[in-house]
Amino acid sequence: MFGIRPDGRELKKGVDPITRFTPLIMRQRCDAQVMTTEYIDAEKLNEYIRKRKKDGVKLSHMTVIIAAILRTAAQYPMMNRYIVNGKLYSRNEYTVSFVAVKSKDLDTYDETTTKTFFDYYDTVDTVQKRIDKTIEEARDAASSTAVVNFANGILSIPVLPRLILDILMFMDRIGILPKKILDISPFHTSLFITNMASLKMNDVFHHIYNFGTTSIFVGMGKRRPQLHKSIDGTLSAKWVYPVGVVVDERIMPGAQFAKCFQTMIKYMNNPELLEAPPEEIVYDIGIKPYRLKPSYDVLKGEK
């Protein structure tokens, strides 16, 4: 309430006036969606994954993408902003929501939505460990994720599910939604990602939700050839992974988005740069340096 939320801090001083004014014009995320397609060099990425596998480390394509975006956010904290009730906030932690496939039985997919907390100092290896831990818990047949339990709890109340959701959305707008709910909500996240390539589908431009605080949604598609024309007119083709990106344009100026995308693709095409922690973390305007709380760290023995 009054600009104070359990998951972020309102930004005022030092922010470009147009950036602060834009949410007053575009009041919902669906008003402010901007879409683009970025391309990852498939040969470089696959070669890197094969090389690490020979060294005994199994990495997924999604892990490299998340690690690349996380490292970019460590350099450009504007990527971890969000808009609520017309106000601009900087998030207190970095989280990623994604759909985990629990089982594939008779061509039917049993899916569940999960959310993982990350640290700006994570490497591509620790990102993989956090994802593996999250997926392992999601696939545990003896338990359900907190998201599923919460949804079942609301739906079990006769007649009232819509009213309860309206109340929760109102509480979120004024900043009094409890932190416990924010922690399990997949809609309150730095990044939402979907791997369409695992389903042998093309990349998608997935909408960002009006409910919650998701400002970036990434959808990776299956590998496909891309034509290139050299200066002398020669045509050649290479394999790429297309990545559909949908962002809330209100969180930063367009020029900053361009820098973020360039940096993100640099890391995706050179994932070996993600094997070491970043030398320096850049924090948002007026935000003190922080690390994830130990309670959020799913890696036992690691801080």
Per-residue pLDDT of the chain (303 residues; tens, 9 = 90+): 555 789 999 998 888 888 889 999 999 998 999 999 999 999 999 999 999 999 999 999 999 999 999 999 999 999 999 999 999 999 989 999 998 776 655 465 667 788 999 999 999 999 999 999 988 887 775 555 566 666 666 666 666 777 888 888 899 999 999 998 999 899 999 999 999 888 788 999 999 999 999 999 999 999 999 988 788 888 888 999 999 999 999 999 999 999 999 999 999 999 999 999 999 899 888 666 554 444 445 555 454
Beta bridge partners of residue 34, listed in sequence order:
247
| Residue 278: both structure tokens together | 């970043």
Q: Calculate ∠ Cα 97-262-9, nearest 5°.
A: 50
How many other CB atoms are found less than 10 A from the CB of residue 219? Answer: 22
Contact yes or no for 35/119 (Cβ under 8 A): no
Model confidence, pTM: 0.88
State the amino acid at position 142 in one-letter form: A
First to last CA, the chain: 31
b/e sequence 198-211, b meaning 16+ C-beta within 10 Å? eeeeebbebebbee
**Dihedral Cα 247, 248, 249, 253, nearest 10 deg:** -90
pLDDT of residue 283: 87
Helix-helix angle 146-155:161-173, to 10 degrees: 120
* Integer CA distances (angstroms), 50 to 56, 58, 171, in order: 10, 8, 47
Contact yes or no for 1/176 (Cβ under 8 A): yes
| Residue 213: both structure tokens together | 């605080």
pLDDT of residue 287: 65
Contact yes or no for 228/235 (Cβ under 8 A): yes
pLDDT of residue 233: 81
Selection from 299, 104, 8, 67 nearest residue 193 by Cα:
67
CA distance 236 to 97: 37
For the chain, domains (ranges, CATH) are: 4-296 (3.30.559.10)
| Residue 166: both structure tokens together | 């309206």
